[in-house]
Every structure is written in structure tokens, then in C-alpha cells.
Amino acid sequence: MKQRILLTLIALVALAFTARAQHLPVTELEDGKGKAVSSATMVDHKTPFAITFWASWCKFCRKELDALAELSPDWESPLRIYAICEDDARSLARAKALAGGSDWPATLLYDPNGEFKRALNVSDIPHVFVFDKDGVQVWSHVGYIPGDEETLVKELQKAR
Amino acid sequence: MRRALLVLTFSVLSSAAAFSQSEGGSFTGSLESSSIWDDEADSPYKGFHSNNYLKIAYSRGRFSAGLQGEWYPSPLPGYDEALKGWSLPVKYVAWQQKRWSLTGGDFYEQFGSGILLRSWEDRALGLANSLGGVRFKGDFDGIAVTLVAGAPRSARSYAPSLVSGADLTLDPFRLLGRDNPLGLTFGAGITDRYEWVPEDDMSLLLGTDAPKSVLLHSLRAGIAPGAFQLSFEYVGKGKDFTPVRHRGSGDTYVLEAGKAFSAEASWTGSNLSLTASWRYLDNMTFRSCRTLGALVPSNTLNYLPALCQQQTYMLASLNPYETFAEGESGFRGDAYYRFKRGSLLGGKYGMTLHVGGSWINALGKVLPRRESDQLAYRDLNIDLERKWNKKLKTILFVSIQECSPTHGNRKGTEAQNVFVVENLYKFSSSTSLRTELQYLYSEEREKDWMAGLVELGIAPHWSFQLSDMYNHGSTKDHYWNVSASWSRETLKCILGYGRSREGMVCSGGVCRWQPEYKGLFIRAQYAF
């Protein structure tokens, strides 16, 4: 047992030291009408962008998006934020209605079987990422505590 | 042998990681660990329990590969004991071209809404039914095709069955080389499960005429002009053994075909959104291995989520409704309205109102059968969210729930009414206090409950939480928890102590029995 744990730790340390900044993985998402959208379209080679994972049943995800909506009138120029919905068939319609009726300052995309979430190694939501203009990950944060939205905006502005 | 496999795997991965650094590949992964020490003297789960997951993925150009290692020295209470030990349940290689991709190994897939086929992972439930085999996905100017064949995962190995399927989605406008202003799509799919169980075992457990192969087929269509959306799906299931519940005695099995219909409509305006869903299920249980039964959550090949709202407050989710796949028909509707900022009711910061409800009837599948359908579950949920000023925000929530404990076989139902007041107060841009006060009123089961929660948040790293759920109706039991959470970028750790109530933990249509335990819990996750 001890050998297994030691082996795992050694491998993890090796991996952690050799891991590179993650490029945006390319998988298929859906827009609000169910049309396929490649995640590659997020990279425009001009401006950085943020990705935040949310779901209708995730209270803290919604609090984070609401908080961003409250901050957005103060932004000098619009920030590119993608809100990726992790609701599946049970609550997808509800999530679309919820998002449609909100004023979240984000482009809404849907990941009904979690393929994009798995590709970005997301275990828990909310989980936010900031990518530079070329799609290289520069910052990420898991969980939400009120006030985290300001850190996200700062990191996004810093990536410009 | 297993140790040799581990050494080999990690050696290859570590070498690959080093190689990736110099050759332009990308190496990513995540680690998650959940552990508890149950310290109740008379608990059957006394001692240490832990679930651990390590996921590693490598990609370079069009090539990608990955694996997921899992270690359960003793699975968390309520998880499948067959998981105990080390395993590498997910390993794959994939190649992606612009229009198509090919995956060999273990993968997750969903056809349509998942009634036809869904393989996915939900660690909170201990559910993981990846398919080990081959998958092809292609998108050719309006025709999207997915082909799969593989054995479903069962604990640390594979179920004795082969699942194969095909799914097709057509965009008629794209086929003609035009934009699709109506959002019109058509889809069709088939899934077959062939069970390897030896004929004698199958006959013994399910009867002599048990079909080894069961085929499902589906048709679906969707249209989304402007702010309106409408979708429809039909799934037919070939003859399969379906459990028949008997009131007051055990289940038996009958050989029957099944069918499912679902329809969804929604409309989104600038401040108002409406959505309505209807679903009919008749004998739609679809398992990886029929002889394993329903005791293992992962023993499922399709997704039949409960139609009602997924509750998030402690007391509202105390007695969740579980889909009755043998036969139910239900409706659900939701409306969201946002009162604009500056309006009479919206005030300076606006206000949101949600009203939603569901009504689900059982199709009388519990024996002895009833002549007509009976109520299985219904609920009405209302929540109102209002920000008073820059510091204070309030949510009022009411949920009225009524459930038939006999799946509609008897007229009697049990009702519970839940009331919640949640407040969030921001002392500064980084310090906040969140409180929840909850009350459940019921004349059945354990009668009345009350609950409270206080959470102090100190962004960006710390959060402290104290909660208690108290049954003052009959048992007088407390279920309290105290925890601290720390996070920094992709590392998050939670340490706590408390007592967890036994009950059903549900996600979608799949539920897991969670036994009671009391003790220390630690959770950590890290992505790299």
C-alpha cells in the first residue's frame, strides 16, 4: 500500500513539474438553439477571454454570474466571458430559461454530456479559467466566494 | 501484475510529460480525494473510508491520450464495495481530424437527451459507466454521425455485455448549403446491448426466454425559430425483462417492450422566459447487466432524470423524487421574470422571480394494478431574489411537495412544505456572510424539521461554514456540520466534522443510498 502511495506521489511530482500551460481543448459545444459550436471559435487571436462553468442547480455558480452582471456596467470595454452550462437533460430547458432571462455579461454555451468539462479537468463547479488571446491558459480558480468576481476581472484585464 | 502495470503506466506518463515539454505536447490532469473517518462507536462504517481519483491527459497536435486511476482503500459509505482497491478504469487514445475523430479505449457518450444511451461520470453518486471500445464521430456538412461499440464499465472492470450504437443528426439547410434560420434538425439512433452472461445463468436468473440482445431505437426533431424552441423525442425499446413491483412483496420480472416520449417547448423574451416539458416512460429501464439489478448506480445505460426540480436547499432535498422508469407520465413548467432595475418592484438593483412546478402520474405498474393513473409526485416551487443595496441580498424560497410512497398504487400521499430565507451580506469587497434559515412542515414521516446555516467567506481563499438540521417533529435528531475551505487557483481543500443523515442522494434519474455517518471529512482537489 505504502509503495503505491509513494509511486503515485513520485509520478504526480514528476507530472506537476513537467506540465505546461494548457491550451484550450477543442471539443463540440452547443449554442442556445442546440447548434454545434466548436470551442476553437473562442480564440480570436485579438483579446483574452474567460470561461466559467455553471449549472442551474449550482447556487454559487449563479451567484458568481450575478456578481459579474453587477460589475459589468463599470467595465471600460466589454470583457469576453463564456458561461458553459453543465446542466444535462434533466434541467437543460430550465437552465436555458434561467440564462435567457438573466443579464449575465457572457456568451452562453452548453455542454450537455460534460465533454468540455472533462477536457479541462474540471471536477467541481464553479470553476473559472482565463485564456490569453491565443488560447493559452493563464489563470484558473475553483469555487466561488463573494469577491472572487473582482479577482477574475483583474486577471482577465491583466491578460490583455 | 497490478503493481507492474502501475509502474509501467507512470513511467510512460512521466517520460511522456518530459517529452511533451520539449516537443510541444500538452500534459494536463487532476487529482481528487475525499475521505471520512467515521467515529461513531456503533456505526457499521466505523473507521477510514476514502475515494481517490487521478486523471492524466496528454495531447499533441491531433493526437491525445489519457487515463484515470482510482484508489478506494475502503469506499465512502454508500458507494459500491466492488470498487475497493486500485484500478485504471479509463484509458484511451484518440485522433482528431477536422471533420472526424476516432477514439479507442474508454469514453463517454450520449445519444439525444440520453434516453437512448448515456455513459457519463458522476463522482458524487459513484456513477461511472464509460464504454470501453471504439468510437467514431464525424460531421460532414449537415450530417453528424456517431458510432460506438464497447463494454460498459462495472466497478473496477467491465460488465458482461457489449453495447453498440449509431446516432445521426441531420441539418437539412446545411445539407443544401444554406444557413438554418429555423434551427430545424432531425435525428435518429439505435443502441443494442448484447449480454454475455452464460445461457444457464441467464435462464436461472431471468427465465428461459430471456433475450440476450435488446435493441432500442429513437427519432427526434427540433425547431428553434427566433425566441421560440420546440423539440420532440421518441424512443422505442425491444422486449426486455422489466421488474414488476408488488405491493408488500419482492419484485418479479416480465418480458415487455418499452417506449418513451418527451417534448420540450421554451420561449425567451427580454425579461420573461417560459419553458414546459412533458415526458412519458413505459418500461425504459436499460441496464448494462440485468442480473446485477438496481443496487449499483453505474449499472445503467440510459438517462431517465426525474422531471421535477433538482432541489439545492437542505430541507427541500430531504426526500427527493426518484424516476419510476417502469411507468410514469409527467409535466413540468418553469417561468422566470426579471423586474428591471429602476422599476417599481425591481428597485435600484432589479429582482428575479421564478415559479416552477411538476406533476407526475404513475402508470399503475405496481401490482395489484389500479384501473387509472394515480399521482406519483407533484411540486410547486417559488423563489424570489432581491438585492436591497450594495451589501445585502435576500432570497425567499417556498417548495410545496407531495409524493406517493407507493408509486401511485394507493391513493394516500405524503406532503411537505419547505420555507427558506437566505441572506448574503458583504462587509467589504472580499468579506461576506451568508445565512440560511429553513423550515419544513409535514404531518407525515418524521414531521417537522428546521435548519440553519452560517457561512463566512473571505475571498479569495477562505470560507467557513456551520450548519445544523434538526428534526423537532419526532426523532429530535441533530445533523450538524462545521467545515473550513481553502482554495488557491486550482487547488481546493475542505476539512470538516459532522453528522450526515441517511437517505437518498440523487443526481438526475439515478440515486444512491447514503447511510448515516458521523466523523471527520477531508476533501482535496487539484488540477494541473
Tell me, letter by letter, the H, E, C secondary structure of B491-528.
Answer: EEEEEEEEEECCEEEEECCEEEEECCEEEEEEEEEEEC
For residue A10, pLDDT beyond 60: no
Stretch B40-61: mean pLDDT: 90
Q: Please work out, in degrees rounded to the nearest 5, the angle formed at the alpha carbon of residue B114 by the alpha carbons of B277 and A50.
A: 85
User: How far apart are alpha carbons B128 and B88 in whole angstroms?
Assistant: 13
| Helix runs in chain A, H state only | 2-18, 59-71, 92-100, 115-119, 148-158
Between CA B214 and CA B218 the distance in angstroms is 14
> C-alpha A104: how far from its chain's center?
14
Most A CBs within 10 Å, among B28, B354, B383, B388, to test the A interface:
B28
The string of DSSP codes covering B72-125 is EEEPPTTS-GGG-EEEEEEEEEEEE-SSEEEEEEEE-EEETTTTSEEE-EETTT
Give percent of chain B with pLDDT exceeding 70: 88
CA gap B122, B487 in Å, rounded: 22
User: Which of A19, A90, A112 faces B528 most closely, judged by CB atoms?
Assistant: A19
Contacts of B191 (CB under 8 A, 6+ apart): B111, B116, B117, B163, B164, B165, B215, B216, B217, B301
Q: Which helix (H) or strand (E) holds B252?
A: strand B249-268
Q: Which residue would you say has higher pLDDT here, B183 or B91?
A: B91
To the nearest whole Å, the CA of B480 is away from the closest chain A CA by 21
- Tell me the mean pLDDT in the region A42-65: 93
- List residues bridging with B38 in a β-sheet: B47, B519
Q: How far is CA B280 from CA A17, B261, B294, B379, in A?
A: 53, 5, 21, 18
Residues from chain B contacting residue A15 (CB–CB below 8 Å): 13-14, 17, 27, 29, 56, 528
Cα distances (Å, whole numbers) of residue B506 to A90, A109, B312, B375: 12, 25, 11, 21
DSSP string, B403-461: E-TTTTSSS--EEEEEEEEEEEEESSSSEEEEEEEEEEE-SSTT--EEEEEEEEEETTT
Mean pLDDT value across residues B263-278: 92
Give B236's strand partners.
B217, B259
Q: Does B55 touch chain A (CB under 8 A)?
A: yes
Residue of B nearest to A147 (CA): B430
Q: What pLDDT digit, counting tens, does each position of B136-193 carry?
A: 999 998 899 999 999 999 999 999 899 999 999 999 999 998 888 888 999 999 999 9
Instruction: Measure the CA–CA gap between B311 and A134, rounded to whole angstroms.
Output: 39
* Total-model pTM: 0.88
Q: Which of A119, A79, A40, A112 is nearest to B264 (CA)?
A: A112
Is the pLDDT reported for residue A18 higher than 60?
no
What is the per-residue pLDDT for B40?
A: 83
Contacts of B306 in chain A (CB under 8 A): 90
Q: State the Cα–Cα distance between residues B145 and B168, nearest whole angstrom.
A: 5
For A6, the closest chain B residue by CA position comes to B7
Backbone angles phi and psi of B17, in degrees to 5: -65, -45
Q: B5-14 pLDDT, tens per residue?
A: 455 455 545 5
Residue B20's pLDDT band, with cuts at 50, 70 and 90, is: very low
Mean of pLDDT over chain A:
85
What ipTM does the predicted assembly reach? 0.83
Among A10-14, B29-33, B39-43, the minimum mean pLDDT is found in: A10-14
Is B84 an 8 Å CB contact of chain A? no
> How high is the pLDDT of residue B369?
64
Q: Is the pLDDT of residue A1 over 70?
A: no
Q: Crossing angle for the helix pair A2-18 and B2-23, nearest 10 degrees?
A: 10
Cell numbers for B219, please give them: 427519432
Helix/strand/coil (H, E, C) string of B155-219?
Answer: CCEECCEEEEEEEEEECHHHHCCCCCCCCCEEEEEEEEEEECCCHHHHHHHHCCCCCCEEEEEEE
Q: Which helix (H) or strand (E) holds B4?
A: helix B2-23
When pLDDT is cut at 50, 70 and 90, the band that residue B273 belongs to is very high
| CB count in 10 Å sphere of residue B424 | 20
CB atoms within 10 A of CB B415: 14
> How many CB atoms are closer than 10 A to CB B418?
25
Considering CB atoms only, which of B27, B268, B508 is closest to A90? B508
How many beta carbons lie within 10 A of that of residue B251, not counting itself?
A: 13
Work out the angle between the directed axes of helices A59-71 and A148-158 (0-180°, nearest 10): 60
CB contact under 8 A, B460 and A90: no
Over range B28-37, report the average pLDDT. Answer: 93
Q: What is the pLDDT of residue B198?
A: 67
Test A101 with B264 for CB contact under 8 angstroms: no
Higher pLDDT, B326 or B333: B333
Of A18-32, B88-102, B219-233, give the lowest mean pLDDT range: A18-32
Mean pLDDT of B70-74: 95
Q: Note the pLDDT of residue A6.
A: 52
Residues of B in contact with A145 (CB under 8 A): 432, 457-463, 487
Give the CB-side neighbour count of residue B247, counting CA atoms within 13 A. 14
Instruction: Tell which B residues from 388 to 417 touch A, by Cβ distance under 8 Å.
Output: none
Point out the least confidently predicted range of A56-70, B4-18, B35-49, B497-511.
B4-18
In this structure, what DSSP letter does residue B370 have? P
Q: Is A33 on the interface with B (CB under 8 A)?
A: yes
B-chain residues within 8 Å CB-CB of A56? Answer: 310
Confidence of residue B21 (pLDDT cuts 50, 70, 90): very low
Asked if the Cβ–Cβ distance from A123 to B508 is below 8 Å, we say: no
Dist. CA B334–CA B356, nearest whole Å: 4
- Nearby residues of B481 by Cβ (< 8 Å), 6 or more positions away: B465, B466, B467, B468, B496, B497, B498, B499, B500
Which SS3 state, helix, strand or coil, does residue B288 take?
coil
- Residues of A within 8 A of B525 (CB-CB) are 123-124, 142
Q: Which of B342-356, B361-375, B419-433 has the lowest mean pLDDT?
A: B361-375
Spatial CA neighbour of B318 closest among B414, B416, B396: B416
Question: What region does B388 belong to: left with phi over 0, alpha with psi -120 to 50, or beta?
Answer: alpha
Amino acid at A102: S
* SS3 category, A146: coil
Q: What is the pLDDT of residue B1?
A: 44
- Judge whether A56 is closer than 8 Å to chain B, CB to CB: yes
Suggest the residue from A56, A92, A121, A130 to mutate for an interface test with chain B (most B CBs closer than 10 A): A121
Q: Mean pLDDT in chain B?
A: 88
- Chain centroid to CA B516: 21
Q: Dihedral through CA A59, CA A60, CA A66, CA A70, nearest 10?
A: 150
Mean pLDDT over residues B314-335, rounded? 91
Does residue B93 contact residue B64 with C-beta atoms inside 8 Å? Answer: yes
CA distance B28 to chain A (A): 6
Q: Do A57 and B310 touch (CB under 8 A)?
A: yes
Residues of B in contact with A152 (CB under 8 A): none
Closest to B306 measured CA to CA, from B279, B288, B266, B333: B279
Residue B13 touches partner A, C-beta closer than 8 Å:
yes
Task: Please check whether residue B232 touches A, CB under 8 A.
Answer: no
* pLDDT of amino acid B514: 83
Give residue B43's pLDDT: 83
